[in-house]
Structure 1
Amino acid sequence: MLQERIEPAWIDAFETLFRRCALQSGDVVAILGETQSRPVLLELARLALSRFGVRSFTLVLPSVFSAGEPVSRSTGASDALQQLAPVIAALAGSTLVVDCTVEGLMHAPELPAILQGNGSTQPRVVYVSNEHPEALVRLLPDDATEARVKDHVRRVRAAQAMHVRSAAGTDLSISLQGAVVGGNWGTTTRPGTLTHWPGGLVLAFPAAGSVNGTLVLAEGDVNLTFKRYIERAITLTIENDHITRIDGQGVDAELLRSHYAAWAELDGTAARPPACAVSHVGYGLNDAARWDSMALYDKRDFNGTELRAFAGNFLYSTGANEVAGRHTRGHFDFPLRGCTVTLDGAVVVDAGQVVRP
């Protein structure tokens, strides 16, 4: 197991991140954590910030433990803030928020108020994914990935439809009309925005009723919420955004059925449970990220952002989707290999390979 101690190379990596976020002397930086955060990440952020001459402070909030619901992972919605007004005010008054919470603030209900700022200051947020620092060092942001993501964000925003096919049997139609599209390359310099490190992907949150077809999770694809490579194929039938059938044999399919059923019961909408509906779709663009990396980490050392971003994967996720008006803590991320992705008929990913200009 990798050890979580302070290493000079890891401090250097955080310094590089902050420089790419245009941090300047005199800025006010909040380091946000919770009691279940990886302590080394908060300490590395603090040490790297000391090289900038900024004013920084650290907030560590109690982690929240919920009873009476299934285990939730990969939600992107930390519930540590609990709508605490003094905490929100402190973050909103900062130049930069270094988010080291376990799940991150990406879909947290407090995020809009934080990004709005306090009138005189509007912060930007960088979520440091809950990875072992060794992975963060390997996946530092770079100019090429940033340019590539920005280019594909423009393409997806200009498109009316995305279509996904694979030799395994995936045939998925996605309307992009009314979708909210964004991209992430690991850094941000613009006030009022959020990024996450590692980065390197483009995503669309489709409007309600936009996704239909068949999604086949083939051998070697990833159930990232469970941190498992798929060993036996699973076929998902998707109608009007929702998974209506899960076909397949073996433990992979059984685990999926069991967890979805638990969230359907909790959400109280068995006919159309939001946990079974599309959250976002997109594809990875990070050449440094590797599909096989999950095999080399203990589960506790690995949050899986790398597998969301490896170049050429098609990422299908279910759960909360604010654009479609669906809210749930149940969430799955499925990075698929070998898919062909088209935008209005133009191929952008060809059998798992990003089409280069």
Structure 2
Amino acid sequence: MSNGLDMSDTINLFRKELVLCGVKEGQTVAVLSEQGSNNEYATAFMSAAKALGANTYNVNALSANVGLDAKFGNLGLNCLNGNRPAIEALKQADLMIDLALLLFSREQQEIQAAGTRVLLVVEPLDVLTRMFPTKELRERVEAGERRLKKAKHLRFTNEAGTDVIYDLGKYGVLTEYGYTDTPGRWDHWPGGFLATSASEDGVNGKVVMAQGDIIYPFKSYVRDPIEFTIREGYIVDTKGGLDARLVSDYMASFRDPKAYAVSHIGWGLNHTAVWTSHATGVGGIGMDGRAFYGNVLFSTGPNTELGGNNDTACHMDLPMRDCTLYLDDELIVKKGEVIPADMRAPAR
């Protein structure tokens, strides 16, 4: 165990998380893990569930033989592919703890459709501890959700040259605040952002990533600006230096026109996230960058998580700092500062 936590500390931390998820006596908690991976998390979650009086079991499937970073760049590839008995077993649970990363997969959607709430947990213990969710964070995320559901247009800009408009209203809103107590709902611990997708042909303009912005799944910081030209929902041109070349080559490697689609758009609200986490050696898949307070999260690739039909395996999350974002005529983020009072972080 990392972060100075022993197994009993970890069980107590996971028990607090399960309480937020509404786990009670008589409910069923399933843990999905991969063979040879995350055994300590699986054991701790099952012990925590048992302490709350829940029934619990572990579905330990054969590994998909790729790391977490590779999974984020190849969505849909997971340990449940073709494993019908395991899927059916997980659909029986009230809550499934996903230690294997089913994100954007048909398997996850089927499990959610059965009413099972799903919690993804793949970050290191120090990140889970530092970014532990609160009801206050949920309230701020849901304040953003109310605005985003009503908005018809989203526009964001930055001083590097970004100016892009999204036509909204076709798809719902994805909220992440770090726990789930609603049947069929997915969340990710840690979280702290919200997002939606435009209509498939409803994004037009230019996005310019500045120095210090983040490229996922590379977990790297932009060294030279990357300029994306977007027409009718698709990236049609990418310009810049080495980073632009790497991004272009990566997207081209999938040999899939849908890889160039613009995916979800949103902003971060977690004031405990650390932008420089990768530079300082913090592990995990990058929730610090994705949920960072006041960021704008520009993404490419699939939109199935929000009900769309683009199921490309190529997904890139591109968090950007110091941007300005409007919903219709309301200013939401101004150069990285969250403006509406009901979304602002508490004073530290």
Q: Give the TM-score taking structure 1 as reference length.
A: 0.89
1:149 aligns with 2:131: no
Residue identity matched to 1:99: D
User: Are 2:72 and 1:73 aligned?
Assistant: yes
* 5+ long unaligned stretches in structure 1: 268-272
CA distance in 1, matches of 2:127, 2:143: 25
What letter matches 2:333 in structure 1? V
- Mapped partners of 2:169, 2:205: distance in 1: 17
- Say whether 1:109 aligns with 2:106: yes
Q: Secondary structure at 1:286's aligned position in 2?
A: coil
* 2:27 partner letter: D
Matches within 5 A, 1:215-254: 215-250=207-242, 252-254=243-245
Instruction: Compute the displacement of 1:109 (Å).
Output: 0.4
Structure 1 residues 27 and 123, CA, compared in 2 at 3 Å: closer, same or farther?
Answer: same
| DSSP 3-state at the match of 1:214 | strand
Establish whether residue 192 from structure 1 lines up as the match of residue 184 from structure 2: yes
Cα distance per residue 1:59-90 (max 9 Å; x no partner): 11112248xxx955355545211242221221
Secondary structure (helix, strand or coil) at the match of 1:235 reads strand
Give the length in aligned residue pairs.
Answer: 337
- 2:318 maps to 1:334: yes
Contact 2:75 2:314 in 1 (8 A): no
Identity rate, percent = 32
Aligned AA (1:126): L
Q: 1:285 to 1:3 in 2, by over 3 A?
A: closer
CA shift digits 1:177-224 (9 cap, x unpaired): 312212111111111111111111111022210111111110010002
The residue identity in structure 1 corresponding to 2:45 is A
CA distance in 2 between counterparts of 1:313 and 1:149 reads 14
Q: Is the 8 A contact 1:10 1:134 kept in 2?
A: no
The 5-angstrom pairing of residues 109-148 of structure 1 reads 109-117=106-114, 122-128=115-121, 130-148=122-140
Query: Structure 2 unaligned runs (5+)?
Result: 342-348
- Tell me, in whole angstroms, the C-alpha distance in 2 between the residues paired with 1:52 and 1:348: 40
Residue aligning to 1:208: 200
Contact in 2 for aligned 1:41/1:133 (Cα 8 Å): no
Change in 2 beyond 3 A, CA 1:77/1:149: farther
The CA distance in 1 between the partners of 2:104 and 2:240, in whole Å, is 31
* Partner Cα separation in structure 2 for residue 76 and residue 200 of structure 1: 21
Letter in 1 for 2:161: G
1:296/1:36 Cα in 2 relative to 1: closer, same or farther (>3 Å)? farther
Letter in 2 for 1:63: S
Deviation, structure 1 residue 10? 2.8
Between the aligned partners of 2:240 and 2:127, the Cα distance in structure 1 is 33
Distance 2:4 2:56 in 1: 23
Quick check: 227-236 or 3-12, which moved more?
A: 3-12
Matched, 1:318 2:313: no
Tell me, in whole angstroms, the C-alpha distance in 2 between the residues paired with 1:305 and 1:77.
19
* Contact preservation (8 Å) 2:202, 2:233: yes
Partner of 1:270: none
> Residues 29 and 96 of structure 1 are in contact (CA less than 8 Å); yes or no, is this contact kept in structure 2?
yes
- Tell me if structure 2 keeps the 8 A contact 1:72–1:329: no
Structure 1 residue 261: Cα displacement: 1.5
Q: Identify the residue that residue 181 of structure 1 maps to in structure 2.
A: 173
| Letter matched to residue 22 of structure 1 | G
Mean alpha-carbon deviation: is it higher for 193-202 or for 44-53?
Answer: 44-53
Which amino acid letter does the alignment assign opposite residue 335 of structure 1?
P
Structure-2-length-normalised TM-score = 0.91
Distance 1:138 1:230, change over 3 A: same
CA RMSD of aligned residues (A): 2.1
In structure 2, relative to structure 1, the CA distance for the partners of 1:15 and 1:313 (3 Å cut) is same
2:344 equivalent in structure 1: none
Q: What residue is the counterpart of 1:347 in the other structure?
A: 331
